[in-house]
Amino acid sequence: MKHDRLVLPAAFAFVTDIAVQARDINYGGHLGHDAAVSLLHEARRRWLAAAGLDEAGSGGAGLIMLELEVHYGAEAFWADRLRVDMGVTGLGPVRCEFRYRVGRGGSEVLRARTLMGFFDYSARRLVRRPADFLTRLTAVNEESDNV
């Protein structure tokens, strides 16, 4: 399947492996869309945790999902070990994009983009990006494997 509409970064800043579990399988016998979205969430949380950040915003600015785009290229099945490569693009004053490539062996299972807003959950509004956000994310070891 072609992925013309979703360009991935030239280099990824974070890598993690995630196994497909029984609960991730849909009626077609492969990774379901809902589970794929949860897999992206898990990978993003691992990267944030490795950088000492969290989506809830314990430092004042959390993250909230504004958009999601997913392109599928191959099936994934129970017990498959998927490699998730991630990068940050489109960094703006109140939002950024996470880009994902999820693969198994030599095949690309999916690629995705999440547009995330920096969000103050107590005030229920978008806020400015923390000054050290990108620095903290990119300081994480590029060959991380936070399983």
CATH number (domain holding residue 79): 3.10.129.10
What does the pLDDT look like over 127-141, one tens digit per residue? Answer: 999 999 999 998 986
Q: Give the number of domains in the chain.
A: 1
Examine residue 2 and state whether it is found in any structural domain, yes or no: no
In the Cβ-directed half-sphere of 87, how many Cα atoms lie within 13 Å? 11
Residue 57 — pLDDT band, cuts 50, 70, 90? confident
Give pLDDT, residue 84: 98
pLDDT surpassing 60 at residue 143: no
Indicate whether 5 belongs to any domain. Answer: no
Confidence at residue 2, expressed as pLDDT on a 0 to 100 scale: 54
Please report whether residue 145 resides in a domain. no
E-strand stretches of the chain? 14-19, 62-72, 81-89, 95-104, 107-120, 125-126
Answer whether residue 3 is part of any domain. no
Closest residue by Cα to residue 143 from 49, 9, 46, 13:
13
pLDDT at 60 over 60: yes
Domain that holds residue 93: 14-138
Let me know if residue 8 belongs to a domain.
no
Residue found under tokens 């969430």: 41
Mean per-residue pLDDT over the chain, rounded: 92
Does residue 122 carry a pLDDT above 60?
yes
Tell me, yes or no, whether 60 lies in a domain. yes
Do the domain assignments include residue 114?
A: yes
